[in-house]
Amino acid sequence: MGEVAAASEERMKKTVQSLKDGFGALRTGRASAALFDKIRVDAYGDKSPLNQVANISIPEARLIVIQPWDKGLITEIEKAIRTSELSLNPSNDGKVIRISIPPLTEERRKDLAKQAKAQAEQSRVSVRNTRRDGNEELKKLLKDGKLTEDEESKGAEELQKLTDSYIAKVNQVLEEKEKEILEN
């Protein structure tokens, strides 16, 4: 019974972490190094994550500075940022790339909030699917005689408590992201 709950909780933790990672890539009006987590740069004949070929710093709330460790990669880094879905306009001085994060329009904020809500709903569905899978596992153990009805009932109760807890965590992560998106 405890194994089913532990495995389910591990899956639910991963769901919440995946949501946080996904939210990190949503561009808000604030500068964030997490925006570049998915950007890959052509470096030395391979596609490397941006943070492995350059230092990313945030000197101001709306400014990102990217300093390549190898100055020869500056044009490749700039190209990777321009062709990404971030709609950012980098400029370089030969040594560093500067990116100014423009404030979001009201329409764009609403669109981002809608995207965040959709991602959160997918996470809630994933948490509920994990509960369903756990309950099916408990029923199978009951059927196979490895659990009593009381143990199965307690296991289902434990899964429901976990589900409620992780749904609340998803809602909290969404609330924080919405606040960040909607602030001016």
For 3-26+105-183, give the CATH class. mainly alpha
pLDDT at 140: 94
Looking only at Cα atoms, what is the longest distance across the chain? 71
- Residue intervals of the chain classified under CATH 1.10.132.20 are 3-26+105-183
Q: Which amino acid is at 112?
A: L
pLDDT at 29: 72
pLDDT at 12: 96
How is residue 112 written in tokens?
């981002």
Q: What is the pLDDT along the chain (184 residues), one digit of tens a residue?
A: 588 899 999 999 999 999 998 887 776 777 788 888 888 998 888 898 988 899 999 998 889 999 999 888 999 999 999 888 777 889 989 899 999 888 888 888 888 899 999 999 999 999 999 999 999 999 999 999 998 999 999 999 999 999 999 999 999 999 999 988 887 5
- Residue intervals of the chain classified under CATH 3.30.1360.40 are 33-100
Measured from the Cβ of residue 67, the count of other Cβ atoms closer than 10 Å reads 14
pLDDT at 1: 54
How is residue 81 written in tokens?
């940022």
Domain 33-100 in CATH 3.30.1360.40? The answer is: yes
pLDDT at 112: 87
pLDDT at 184: 56
